[in-house]
Amino acid sequence: MKKYKFYLINLIMITFLFSCSSAKKGTDTETFKYKIDQFADIKILRYQVPGFEQLSLGQKKLIYYLSEAALSGRDITWDQLYKHNLFIRRVLEGIVKYYDGDRNTEDFQKFMVYVKRVWFSNGIHHHYSSDKFKPDFSREYFTELINHSPSADFLKHANSKEELLNKIIPILFDPEVDAKGICQDTGKDLIINSANNFYEGLTQQEVEEYNNKVINKADSTPVSYGLNSKYIKENGQVKEKTYRLNGMYTAAIEKIIYWLEQAVSVAENEKQKQVMEKLIEYYKTGNLETFDEYSILWVKDLDSRIDFVNGFIEVYGDPLGKKATWEALVNFKDIKATRRAESLSANAQWFEDHSPVDERFRKKEVKGVSAKVITAAMLGGELYPATAIGINLPNADWIRKEYGSKSVTIENIAYSYDQESQGSGFNEEFAYSEDEIKMIKKHGFLAGNLHTDLHECLGHGSGQLMPGVTVDALKNYFSTLEEARADLFALYYLMDKKMVELGLIPSLDVAKTEYTTYIRNGLITQLTRIQPGNDIEEAHMRDRQLISKWCYEKGQADNIISMVEKEGNTYAVVNDYFKLRNLFGSLLKEVQRIKSEGDYEAGKELIEKYGVKVDRKLNEEVLARYEKLKLAPYSGFINPKYTPVYENGAIADINIECPDDYVKQMLYYSENYSFLPDYN
């Protein structure tokens, strides 16, 4: 599991040379402008690619080819998230490019904010809450925009402008039409009430009945059933439309394959070549056994400097946790910073053996746990513009158990977050005391990085399922429980003296810093992302509140955590770090039991009681305090641009630029990487 969104950084990065034309080697990094745009609840950042210029020509070419493959699947993600997304995007972009009216009006600026939000979320549903965006302009103004964009070829999407408007206006403006991208309300049919495009014409009961028929629970090495397909109903029967060449999404997959084939020609070694060739085979066939073979080869490739993720990977977008959204990441190893992560992976068995969970649920032999710190070179699909800072793959439990997993911390992305946040006033507003602020300044970078390392490298890879149990048993609660399990593992071990013995932290003050910021975030500051009246629906946010509220409740008798009011504001204060560590261990023991035994009812009760509902009064207070800071709670990125330099008909170098125009990049991508029709 990936998508670990806990924004942090390591001081090592400050000494690096940064690659991008707007920040030349040796230039003070303060001259690089990280934030380039802010709108609604979003800010757009840039990231640099330190070390790119020092790579060999072959490695640069490999990054270029893999980056083109990463961009070629963009339309797939849009279509998966909502069946009307591509149609809507193209209509909106027609207006952006060709509207001939006054672009300086307040209404047009509101329209542009709406378009930017749609671009950011790869569709019309919020990337975190999954609520449909509400336009701040009227239907009448939207009609005017259509009518005053004469050069836009709207008739590609409808037979007349009237037909176009009749179709698109209810989708954009009617709050009842496809209101949720992902429905997590257990009182509703999760399939019917989710607007994603993984299912068509089916109810939740029909989907679950079909899954029960095709999934062999006795199989000790099961494929990820349904991962790369859409379920539809035809003549009363459930059918699968597989994502593959000459299947669903074939036009985009053909381009992905083309660029992967170019990448094969410059592979760093034979193992890497085999990985890419197996991925190509998988894209051609759609065979999930081939995907498992690819995943195993990918895990075993530990010698390559360049690495990538490309495919249908994560299942957060499916309320039942089966269907995967397309994503891509191109990266290369940060050799110096990786030493930290390697220290953890080398001691993986020690951590497993000393885990507070029941001995039955521990792995007797931890295999193939590898960890590294990476530099992101290109983001794509579900990982663009919003991305993760940590990854642990593959997701199949049996592959993790038998072959291991790869864990990474994405250092240059985290560095961009950190640099942009300097001087924001956030800690001054929400930290209880000056001592807490000093702790964060002194230890926050390292504490956050190590939390990510432990979460990804060891947390997700720890533990085992009991015979006959599959992750499907936890249904729509699996993602939250899995993220909570990895978080708890990280939190528990940060306070272990082993971390000092390994030289990873100078003292346990680093762990105390992370405990303070984690509890504050889970109880208070992440409420900046929740609008009044809403519940928490995103898996990582549920995980953080679940852990924090559970620990607060269970520790009240010993006053382990206090909710303190000072000058009319509420603060979360940790009073006993060592007792809090014991609580983390107790909850980790229970969450691991739930996963290992597939105890759906216990998992449901835990999440619904602690992870979903918010204190309405506190939510309003936090939003008001946050509003004063004029910050945006969500961040995303624009990508660097790679351009081949030719000499005598051959590539002699790859130039890298860091663009600073969000709108321009989005339009460029739509112009050059739109391979799918409006509807698929």
Query: Cα angle vertex 137, ends 136, 141, to 5°?
Result: 170
**Burial of 28 per CB tally in 10 Å (0-12, 13-18, 19+):** exposed
Alpha helices in 555-599 (DSSP H): 577-597
pLDDT, tens digit, 9 for 90 and up, residues 321-342: 999 999 999 999 998 888 888 8
Token couple for 213: 């028929």
Q: Flag whether pLDDT at 1 surpasses 60.
A: no
Share of the chain above pLDDT 90, in %: 84
447-473 per-position pLDDT tens digit:
988 998 899 889 998 999 999 998 889
Instruction: Give CA–CA dist 550/53, Å, rounded.
Output: 48
Of 392 and 326, the structure prediction assigns the larger pLDDT to 326
Q: Which residue has the tokens 């520790």?
A: 555
What pLDDT, on the 0 to 100 scale, is given for residue 216? 85
Whether 371 shows a pLDDT value over 60: the answer reads yes
What is the model's pLDDT at position 656?
98
Within 8 A by CB and 6+ apart from 51, the residues are 16, 17, 19, 332, 334, 375
pLDDT in tens, 36-57: 999 999 999 999 999 999 999 9
Structure confidence at residue 16 (pLDDT): 34
Answer for the pair 545, 522: CB distance below 8 angstroms, yes or no. yes
Kindly state the DSSP code that residue 248 receives in the 8-state scheme: B
550 C-beta neighbours (distance < 10 Å), count = 23
Q: Which of 79, 150, 141 is nearest to 114 (CA)?
A: 141
d(CA 629, CA 268): 48
* pLDDT of res. 337: 82
Q: Is the peptide bond before 506 cis (omega within 30 degrees of 0)?
A: no
Question: What pLDDT does 26 receive?
Answer: 34
Q: Does residue 21 carry a pLDDT above 70? A: no
Give the model's pLDDT for residue 29: 47
Is the pLDDT at 10 greater than 60? The verdict is no
Please give the pLDDT value at position 18: 47
Could you tell me the pLDDT band of residue 431, with boundaries at 50, 70 and 90?
A: very high
Task: Supply the pLDDT for residue 14.
Answer: 29
Residue 195 CB-half CA count within 13 A: 24
For the CA atoms of 595, 600, 603, 606, the dihedral, rounded to the nearest 10 degrees, stands at -160
Asked if pLDDT for residue 11 goes beyond 60, the answer is no
User: Model confidence over 640-652: pLDDT tens digits?
Assistant: 999 999 999 999 9
The type of residue at 534 is N
pLDDT at 226 over 50: yes
pLDDT of 15 strictly over 60: no
Per-residue pLDDT for 28 more than 50? no
Mean pLDDT, rounded, for 650-658: 97
Averaged pLDDT for residues 60-80: 98
Burial of 648 from C-beta contacts in 10 A (0-12 / 13-18 / 19+) = exposed
Whole-Å CA distances, 213 to 62, 109, 216, 392: 42, 51, 8, 30
The span from the CA of 532 to the CA of 131, in Å, is: 13
Q: Crossing angle, helix 600-607 and helix 539-554, to 10 degrees?
A: 80
Per residue in 237-294, pLDDT tens?
999 999 999 999 999 999 999 999 999 999 999 999 999 999 999 999 999 999 999 9
**Mean pLDDT of all residues in 360-376:** 91
Structure-model confidence comparison of residues 17 and 71, the more confident one: 71
| Integer Cα distance of 437 and 420 in angstroms | 18
What is the predicted pLDDT for the residue at 262?
A: 98
How high is the pLDDT of residue 418?
Answer: 79
Residue 4 has a pLDDT of 45
Evaluate whether 149 touches 158 at the Cβ level (below 8 Å).
Answer: no
How is residue 132 annotated by DSSP?
B
At residue 448, the pLDDT reads 87
The per-residue pLDDT for range 86-113, each reduced to its tens digit, is 999 999 999 999 999 999 999 999 999 9
CA 211/CA 214 separation, integer angstroms: 5
Encoded tokens for 62? 């490999």
pTM: 0.86
Q: What is the DSSP letter of 133?
A: P
Question: Which string of DSSP letters, residue by residue, matches 303-372?
Answer: S-SEEEEEEEEE-TTSTTS---EEEEEEEEE-HHHHHHHHHHHHTHHHHHHT-SS-GGGS-SS---EEEE
- Local structure of 196: helix, strand or coil: coil
pLDDT at position 635: 95
Whether 535 has a pLDDT exceeding 60, the answer reads yes
Domains of the chain: 11-74+253-268+305-637 (3.30.540.30), 83-195 (no CATH)
